[in-house]
């Protein structure tokens, strides 16, 4: 029975070979969201369309079994279109289109703690330079003039952002893992160019969003144990007489 237990522990240790020292971590998150609302003629605005997507890659070097340092970045895009219509003569309508595009680049530090088996927890700190552009386009038609009126307002901004996010990782095979997060905390400050203003905000998103990503540690070895201590290969298991053919 003891031999069976030792064998099961060995299999579990091999499966738990998570991120290891001197390996290269590559990860990425991708998100897409579409939302359309059409109220017909009963509401104002009559219709609203939201389109959001983002991609956030990163690459790092595992300096120990727990700590990874590297570079991260991302690109975010968001657009909201709303349309209002009035049917009384003469018919009129107005369409608003707000768009936002932003990219980030910076450094990250990640601390990983195995939980046993194929599971581990990690917490990552991102520090990023932020640059973006906002625009608001307005197109109106008053039903009297055949030529619609058009107005466009654009602005750019730059700033800094820091976020701290925990996540659960499930090791699939040889350093390939699925990552699940439920938000985090952060601080952000940006300054606009045309409108000389600075906006600072504190972000708390625990339980307000769900993030799913994938990561791969290149250079992981499938030796016994997620934490391979020096000299473990030379240690020998002592054979006790009570273990001989023990069932």
Per residue in 185-217, pLDDT (tens digit) is 999 999 999 878 999 999 998 877 778 888 988
Query: Domain for residue 153, yes or no?
Result: yes
Residue 214: name the closest of 166, 181, 247, 185 by CA.
181
Residues 217, 57, 73: CA angle, nearest 5 degrees: 130
Query: Domain for residue 151, yes or no?
Result: yes
Per residue in 73-128, pLDDT (tens digit) is 999 999 998 887 665 555 677 788 899 999 999 999 999 999 988 999 999 999 99
Query: Domain for residue 174, yes or no?
Result: yes
- Domain range holding 81? 18-220
Report DSSP state, residue 45: S
In the chain, how many domains are there?
A: 1
- Residue 220 CB-density burial (10 A; 0-12 exposed, 13-18 middle, 19+ buried): buried
The three-state secondary structure class of 241 is helix
Query: Domain for residue 36, yes or no?
Result: yes
CATH of the domain at 121: 2.40.160.20
Query: Domain for residue 231, yes or no?
Result: no
pTM above 0.75, yes or no: no
Structure tokens at 46: 């009559």
Query: Domain for residue 236, yes or no?
Result: no
Residues 6 or more apart whose CB falls under 8 angstroms from that of 220 comprise: 17, 18, 19, 20, 23, 174, 175
Query: Domain for residue 226, yes or no?
Result: no
Query: Domain for residue 106, yes or no?
Result: yes
């Amino acid at each position: 029975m003891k031999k069976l237990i030792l064998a099961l522990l060995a299999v579990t240790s091999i499966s738990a070979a998570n991120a290891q020292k001197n390996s290269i971590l590559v990860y990425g998150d991708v998100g897409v969201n579409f939302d359309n609302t059409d109220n017909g003629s009963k509401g104002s605005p009559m219709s609203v369309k939201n389109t959001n997507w983002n991609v956030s890659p990163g690459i790092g070097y595992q300096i120990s079994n727990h700590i990874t340092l590297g570079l991260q970045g991302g690109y975010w895009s968001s657009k909201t279109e709303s349309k209002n219509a009035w049917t009384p003569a003469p018919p009129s309508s107005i369409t608003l289109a707000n768009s936002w595009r932003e990219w980030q680049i910076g450094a990250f530090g990640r601390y990983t703690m195995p939980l046993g088996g194929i599971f581990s927890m990690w917490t990552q700190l991102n520090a990023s330079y932020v640059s973006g552009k906002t625009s608001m386009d307005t197109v109106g038609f008053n039903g009297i003039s055949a030529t619609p009126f058009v107005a466009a307002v654009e602005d750019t901004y730059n700033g800094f952002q820091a976020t701290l996010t925990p996540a659960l990782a499930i090791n699939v095979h040889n350093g390939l893992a699925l990552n699940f997060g439920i938000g985090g905390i952060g601080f952000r400050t940006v300054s606009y160019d045309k409108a000389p203003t600075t906006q600072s905000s504190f972000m708390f998103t625990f339980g307000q969003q769900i993030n799913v990503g994938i990561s791969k540690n290149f250079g992981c070895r499938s030796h016994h144990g997620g934490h391979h201590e020096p000299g473990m290969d030379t240690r020998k298991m002592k054979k006790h007489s009570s273990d001989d053919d023990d069932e």
